[in-house]
Amino acid sequence: MRYMATISYDGSNYMGFQIQHDMPTIELELEKAIKRMLGTDIKITASGRTDKGVHALNQIIHFDLDKKINPDNLKRGINTYLPNDIYIKNVTEVSDDFHARFSAKSKEYRYYININEYDPLTYKYMPFISNLDYELMNEGMKLFVGTHDFKGFASASIDKRKDTIKTIFKANMNIYDDKLEFIFVGTSFLKYQVRRMMGLIIEIGRKKETKEKISEVFEKKDPKISHKVAPSEGLYLYNVYY
């Protein structure tokens, strides 16, 4: 039996999603909680990793069990053993050909910036950045939409054989009284891609760079071209679409 689960988590206290030895990771906590509930080692597969400090509202995982278990009982049981900052929102039985990663058609990431005043109650959930030119940021965001080679926005340590041509369907910016919201929907995203895109958008908002730099990064396809990586705490894996 294959099960799909929707997970939300506060990434603040974790080294990211993927298991790294005994470091605190979301994957390790999920596998530990499933083992404590079912008594057996179960390997989970996620739609993708999230980095250290990055949050998720609807991360998707799948896992296989030998026997049929009521999905609501699975949800309740695993949640009992999870720490307070990781939560299973939903479990459903899916067909064996469903794959959390390979079946994903697109993903949505959101990024939040507190523009009001430093806030000790939200600093782990959106960085405070002031004196930004929203109009320039908004113009920059539009340049991300479409099919591009995003190699220049990837981690410098990216595997050279990796396909870096990706499509972004939506790159919107919404301005609220107290925060900025950035919405990215695309086929898939490379490691650090959203934080590097956001890092450049923030530099454009600060007038340290112009939107022409975005075109330059697309053309040069070199992750080593210096530009900032936005803080992890503002980033949320918001949805995975199948």
DSSP assignments along 15-60, one per residue: SBSS--TTS--HHHHHHHHHHHHHSS----EESS--BTT-EEEEEE
119 touching its own copies, by CB under 8 A: yes
Considering only residues 117, 159, 163, 177, which one is a binding residue for its own copies as defined by CB under 8 A? 117
85 touching its own copies, by CB under 8 A: yes
Exposed, middle or buried, 127 (CB in 10 Å: 0-12/13-18/19+)? buried
- The nearer residue to its own copies, 98 or 125, going by C-beta atoms, is 125
120 touching its own copies, by CB under 8 A: yes
The answer to whether residues 211 and 204 touch, using CB atoms and an 8 Å cutoff, is yes
- The nearer residue to its own copies, 17 or 153, going by C-beta atoms, is 17
131 touching its own copies, by CB under 8 A: no
Subset of residues 39 to 58 that bind its own copies, contact rule: CB under 8 A: 55, 57
The answer to whether residues 205 and 179 touch, using CB atoms and an 8 Å cutoff, is no
Subset of residues 174 to 213 that bind its own copies, contact rule: CB under 8 A: none
**Catalytic position from the list 10, 22, 41, 51:** 51
121 touching its own copies, by CB under 8 A: yes
Considering only residues 40, 84, 95, 226, which one is a binding residue for its own copies as defined by CB under 8 A? 84
Tokens of 186: 């695309």
Tokens 């099919």, residue located = 147
The phi and psi torsions of 227 (rounded to 5 degrees) equal -155, 160
Considering only residues 3, 4, 10, 166, which one is a binding residue for its own copies as defined by CB under 8 A? 10
For the bound state, the minimum distance from the C-beta of residue 240 to its own copies, rounded and expressed in Å, comes to 17
81 touching its own copies, by CB under 8 A: no
Distance from CA of residue 88 to its chain's centroid?
17
For the bound state, the minimum distance from the C-beta of residue 84 to its own copies, rounded and expressed in Å, comes to 5
Distances (CA, A) of 12 to 31, 39, 86, 126, 193: 19, 28, 11, 11, 19
- Contacting residues toward its own copies, per CB under 8 A: 8-10, 55, 57, 79, 84-87, 89, 117-121, 123, 125
Provide the annotated active-site residues. Answer: 51
